Structure 1
């Protein structure tokens, strides 16, 4: 999977740094003296997906700097979680930086972030699910940078070869199983999906449940609907119509799909860029994910523009973020980087400009964000390790273990 928000490790730091960096110890009630000079020098740290994203961010930052008389140095992180953790533990963090949804609450709890959400003039334009992702203790901390959702990509040539038409695009789990069976032949597997809850999680959402309560204070992984969802996925594996990418000699679902080893995959809108670059001859179409017993559901992924609590340039940083998240820049980033705007008010324009991505954009209405409660990152990493063995495991046992491990962090029973 080609996303910058997925690596699951506890801050990427040694345990000695973890207590300092993730908990920070920074006093939320006091901040550094602010620079009020006319020309300020800001530092920005980003985790880029490639040259297109790097160039787009640098160009937007340079345009703001030229207009305001300030300057912005944009650095590219090799391991942004580790670098941010170390900078928070020190005294000189970047002023503005990418903050992943799964790290946000840890940073907010530790006092490492400046809460500027109340200063956003267009905060109501953002998709509510995204602002909830960056809200801690009822305070919106930062502006969502962009978003991605999951859709079902189908190889149109293999689809037609199997005698299928647009009318056969799966609407239900039974439909998905049926078309996957028809497509599994001649060395091609019907469906390939990453062995990762960030993608398989769509089935939990479609079951009508999720792994935690909406406020993420209780675990609900052991819910019967979740067990039914994971049992369904195991059934597809057992039937041989679903294979994880590693079983197709591929690093992720998009690679198996692009190589023609799988006729369908469940991936996000980052797939479009990968297909253009690596598999330009593979024709495909993206359609909505099928609904489950609980209705429609997909996963959503996002980052925000974080501002350091220790920054001496907070007012200028907020102004920079306001420019980076302007309507014009959001649509420009969508075109050059392949992400979707984080503002719900821009999604219709985005669909008009990117009609092939409509299924991803429409998915925002039924999207579930990954678990991002403080302390849960390692728990979810362990769950992903277990999912890789789903074909030979008891789904109820895997979810019971997740329930237990999650309760050790969140406390209490959610059932």
Structure 2
């Protein structure tokens, strides 16, 4: 969908844009690949996820985040792999971004200290230490650049940060995306248009629309 120029919501997250021509083109292409057998779900090749399929040698490639590095090293140490950016679609490059956040209690007596701690933990220096220790990529631009330099084999992951799409973070939208993900798992038999219409309806309701 991103490579075709579409997404679930508009840029400021105030309007659902699921039933667009771009999204339809993206899902239609994915459905064609599923029908042709050039793309398969992990369960179709007796695997729990894409990384396992790649490691077992039943997939030539998979689309995953940099967490796959540690998994392959641990579970499939003899597998040789290479990380590359996804090919451009009709609208150019596209990928998804995922992250975790530090939370600070609004009424905590130690709020100031917590803020200082989070500032330290999210500094480029500290994030690079995390990267070296367990592979997580830095969230800052400077950190991302340093990461690509120190881990050139993973530079494609860092490059995605320049154009990647983050998740929909509107309150109450998680169930909407969960339902969408369930539908995507049935894309082989479901019509893309019906999937997107359902996403449009559910998403609009979650944002308080009609």
The answer on 1:232 being equivalent to 2:29 is yes
> Where does residue 325 of structure 1 map in the other structure?
122
* CA-to-aligned-CA distance 1:337-364 (integer Å, 9 cap, x gap): 2111111012222112101100011111
What is residue 262 of structure 1 aligned with on the other side?
59
Give SS of 1:287's match.
coil
Alpha-carbon distance in 1 for matches of 2:203, 2:146: 40
1:237-248 to 2 correspondences below 5 Å: 237-248=34-45
Please tell me whether Structure 1 or Structure 2 has the larger radius of gyration of its CA atoms: 1
**Match 2:6 to one of 196, 209, 214:** 209
Aligned counterpart in structure 2 of residue 307 of structure 1, from 99, 104, 109: 104
Count of aligned pairs between the two proteins: 210
Candidates 351, 361, 368, aligned match of 2:148 = 351
- Measured after TM superposition, the shift of residue 326 of structure 1 is 2.3
Contact 1:218/1:411 (<8 A) preserved: no
State the SS of the aligned residue for 2:101. strand
Distance in 2 (alpha carbons) for counterparts of 1:276 and 1:221:
38
Report the equivalent of 1:367: 164
Alpha-carbon distance in 2 for matches of 1:326, 1:392: 47
Q: Which ranges in structure 1 are unaligned for 5 or more consecutive residues?
A: 1-203
Q: Any conservation in 2 of the 1:206–1:296 contact (CA below 8 Å)?
A: yes
Cα distance, 1:327 vs structure 2 = 2.3
* Cα shift at 1:370: 1.4
Residue 183 of structure 2: aligned partner: 386
Quote the Cα distance in structure 2 between the aligned partners of 1:387 and 1:380.
Answer: 10
Aligned-partner SS, 1:206: coil
Counterpart secondary structure, 1:280: coil
**Paired residue for 1:298, among 73, 95, 111?**
95
In structure 1, the residue matched to 2:79 is 282
Residue 335 of structure 1 is matched in structure 2 by 132
Residues 50-199 of structure 1 aligned to structure 2 (within 5 Å): none
1:323, CA displacement in angstroms? 1.7
Task: State the match for 1:166 in structure 2.
Answer: none
Q: Distance in 2 between matches of 1:289 and 1:377?
A: 26
Please state whether the residue corresponding to 1:385 is helix, strand or coil: helix
Distance 2:163 2:124 in 1: 23
RMSD: 1.1
Residue of structure 1 in register with 2:206 after alignment? 409
Residue number in structure 2 paired with 1:249: 46
Write the deviation string for residues 212-265 of structure 1: whole angstroms up to 9, x where unpaired.
Answer: 111111110000110000000000000011110111111111111111110000
Please give the per-residue CA displacement for 1:117-138, whole angstroms capped at 9, x wherever unaligned: xxxxxxxxxxxxxxxxxxxxxx
Residues 138, 144 of structure 2: 8 Å contact kept: yes
**Could you tell me the TM-score, scaled by structure 1's length?**
0.50
The structure richer in strand per residue is 1
Does residue 376 of the first structure (1) align with residue 197 of the second (2)?
A: no
SS in structure 1 at match of 2:61: strand
Q: Distance in 1 between matches of 2:189 and 2:135?
A: 37
Q: Which moved more, 1:227-236 or 1:304-313?
A: 304-313
2:34 & 2:200 partners in 1: Cα distance? 23
Indicate whether 1:399 and 2:163 are aligned.
no
CA distance in 2, matches of 1:241, 1:290: 15
Deviation beyond 6 Å, 4+ runs, structure 1: none
Describe the SS at the equivalent of 2:14.
coil
Q: Which runs of 5+ in 2 are unaligned?
A: none
